[in-house]
Amino acid sequence: MVDEGGWLDEVLWVVNTDDKDDLEYLEKIVAQEPQRHNLLYIKGNKLSTNTYYKAWEHLESGKYYVKIDDGVVLPNAVLRGPP
């Protein structure tokens, strides 16, 4: 995050799961810094290659967005704080 020397000032989580544990974890993340983390719920079925436009319709012009697929996020892959 920007205030910790990073380059992100906000994280928009597009919720694309119905896994109870994942949703609870996501709620915890958002609750820790609600001014920095926001949730976007898309009605209907889970998003897929041909339906991601439903999420893109909610994005604001002039901002940068990074899509991170669940296949590239590994537990403990990012260090917290200085080594």
What is the Cα–Cα distance from 33 to 35, expressed in whole angstroms? 5
User: What pLDDT does 73 receive?
Assistant: 57
Give the tens place of pLDDT for each residue, 22-39. 899 999 999 999 999 999
> For the chain, what is the domain count?
1
**What confidence score (pLDDT) does residue 76 get?**
67
Residue 17 phi/psi, 5-degree rounding, is: -150, 160
Q: Which of 3-7, 46-50, 52-56, 65-69 has the lowest mean pLDDT?
A: 65-69
Residue 79 lies in a domain: no
Is position 51 within any domain?
Answer: yes
Residue 19 domain flag: yes
Structure tokens, 6 = 């990073």
Mean pLDDT for the chain overall = 84
Supply the range of the domain harboring residue 55: 2-72
| Residue 64 token pair | 């940068």
Q: 5 is written with which tokens?
A: 């020397």
